[in-house]
Structure 1
Amino acid sequence: MASDVVECVDLTAHPERLAEPGPWFVVVDFEAYGRGGRARAWRFARVSAAVPASRPVAWSGPHPRSWRSSLDRPAYEAAVETVRAHVREGTVYQVNVCRVLEAPLAGTDGGEPDARALAARLATGNPAPYAAAVHVPAASGVDPVWVVSASPELYLSLDAGALGSGPIKGTAPTADGLTAKDRAENVMITDLVRNDLQQVCEPGTVTVTDLLGVEEHPGLVHLVSRVHGRLAADVAATPDRWARVLAATFPPGSVSGAPKSTALRLIDDLETAPRGPYCGAVGWVDGDRAELAVGIRTFWWDDGVLRFGTGAGITWGSDAAAEWRETELKAARLVGLASGPADDARP
């Protein structure tokens, strides 16, 4: 965990600041870079390992029946059919269509909800490989943020010049439920990620090291592929290397679609609420090392409202009712953990 916030940097204006000593804790909205969202990084005076395991979990979330969706089932299924029509016309191959759940949630004693308590609750009930919590209170005098993520998906990792990504496409309650549509969708998005990385990596170094791996997570399974490359020397040597990497790869392919530019236009047309940190990037950058998750399975709080996003990848092979059920599957466990009193948590 980090404490004593020092500053916040607008990465759209000053991406070169990420080359300065860190670590920097990063939150990038899905709509960043020309679409109205924010890309920010915070630096703190002190960084320690984590919230102690003995720390009491004091989270109390919104009532389970207080959640509302930006798209109800008929509207979501209509959006699926719109995407399928575009696929039939050949303008797009895949689009990730999402909806945002929200519920009123007051802070403690007139302040803000305890992000560490929700993070601890999720760590117990839904452990995730790229879990993160970034909270800078409004009272700090620095640009605030409140994000808690249980992301299972790697957007980008950087370690001494090795750049990697782990796109997820394909979700089911068990491995037996994964379909040919899931596998085709994963291959399509893996190829998109490979092309993205090739824009900033040395020629010939980008490879798919694992294709269609099955990963088990609490309550569901995912198809996950792994793509790696060697960051190009001219990119690695420049202070604005993250500006170039993000320009080539953001937003993540798994939560946008293919081709990405067309998919983003459809997303803007079909979705009725901004995604914010959901489907953006959450993580850290420290010199030549970084780990940024795709901001899925992510909660964010602002102005008395707790939000959570859920979505599904739509192709010609999609069934609208099945895609709606996939969004419910992805949300059910996390929203359940975030709702109600702390003693309802289950490992």
Structure 2
Amino acid sequence: MVETVAEAEPAAPASPPAVTATPASVAQPAAAEKAVKPKAEAKLYGARTLAQWIKRVLLIAVGAVAAAAILVLAARGVTTLPGVPEFLERYPGEYHLPETAEPGFPWWAQWSHFLNIFLIVLIIRSGYQVRTQQKPPAFWTPKRGGKKISINLWLHQSLDAIWLVNGLVFVVLLVASGHWMRIVPTSWEVFPNALSALLQYMTLDWPVENGWVNYNSLQQLMYFLVVFIAAPLAAITGVRMSEFWPKNAKSLNRIYPVEVARAIHFPTMLFFVLFILIHVFLVFATGALRNLNHMFGGTDMVNWVGFWLFAAAIAITAAGWYAARPILLAPIAKLFGQVSSR
């Protein structure tokens, strides 16, 4: 037994190799931990990641193209039905305006159009910020006292006020000059002609454009809807939701609840967004240079003047979009009240 123990003792020095192997064995779990360390979460833009937004946009685009193709095929099928060709011949898409209606676009209509572009883009942006903001970047309080509101809401309401003034001036000049006949229907024929124009758009065999003299009936109805219905709706519902509305007028508040205003205001904004997208698309798809000259150059000629004026308007609007930030808004807001961070 002693000899056995003595023979076993020399085996003790064999332990150093195990000691030297220890650092490698410790390093392996560390490396494994590093390898399985979870990746950083993708940055969210709203409720989705960038990849999710791209996938969603692509799916919507594919769906929109498929839906458009189905509508075109269906519309072309309708034009082959009995009586439809005769209907399109009788109602080509427009009717004759009164003889007193003057062609063209006066200078004040061009300026109003530019201001509408600038203001409505910033109004939609600030309105969306107000609707989705979690924590406002800054607050504004009126000089004469009143409720503290977010600086985004202050911008939205300020732009609304300027937009309303611009709209009132436009309507007054529209009536005074007689140009109201361009966008206000003067004959019941507007309805069958609008249907005819819609069918022609859907078949991609679009009605002849001559906006310098006369809009087609579908355009006329849409412009009438924008100027005399959608814009007043946006104004009336916006005022009801603003701080200018008397909070203690119980009878008035019962007749016109704020919930009704909210239910109308946001869909009206979506209508404006949809109208702008379709309007811009048709401007470029039906003779861009001539149409841009109508709206910005005040001429029926086909040249690049209107295009460059339009490009300048877009550049100014983009600059306004960039400038509509708290750090640049605060000095302006301070002229009319107090700006604070909380």
For the superposition of Structure 1 and Structure 2, which TM-score range results when normalised by the shorter chain? Answer: under 0.3
Pick the structure with more strand per residue.
1
TM-score by length of 1: 0.25
Greater C-alpha Rg: 2
